[in-house]
Amino acid sequence: MGGRGGGSPGRQNSGAAATALTPGLTSEQRVIQAYESFGQPGEPIALDTFRERLTGLTRAEQDDALLSLASRREIRLIPEENRQSFAIFPGYKEAGINISGEEKHLIMINR
């Protein structure tokens, strides 16, 4: 898994700051909208960069939405294979989400 921009495998350059999300959406819908705002269908996006775009939700709300969507196979949460990213990018490891004892640091939707 490489070549996703931002200078490291697993990193997606956020470009602009947080994207304005449509009011009245569920947390799950906001996750989908935030992912689609990157304009990279089918490309893994680092959760630290992704969470910057997912404004208006607490970390717990983000995690609940991510876990719900992953359990329904609407998104994929993927572990970072390049563990050096943890040292290179502050906050990268902390942005991950633990699923069944495995840390996931990337999100991807196949559309």
pLDDT at 28: 96
Q: pLDDT tens digit string along 73-82?
A: 999 999 988 7
The residue with greater pLDDT, 56 or 90, is: 56
- CB-neighbour burial class of residue 76 (10 A; exposed 0-12, middle 13-18, buried 19+): middle
Rounded Cα distance, 48 and 52, in Å:
7
The residue with greater pLDDT, 99 or 23, is: 99
The pTM assigned to this predicted structure is: 0.77
Assess whether pLDDT exceeds 80 at residue 22: no
DSSP assigned state of 57: S
pLDDT at 56: 87
Q: pLDDT tens digit string along 37-69?
A: 998 888 999 999 999 988 889 999 999 999 999
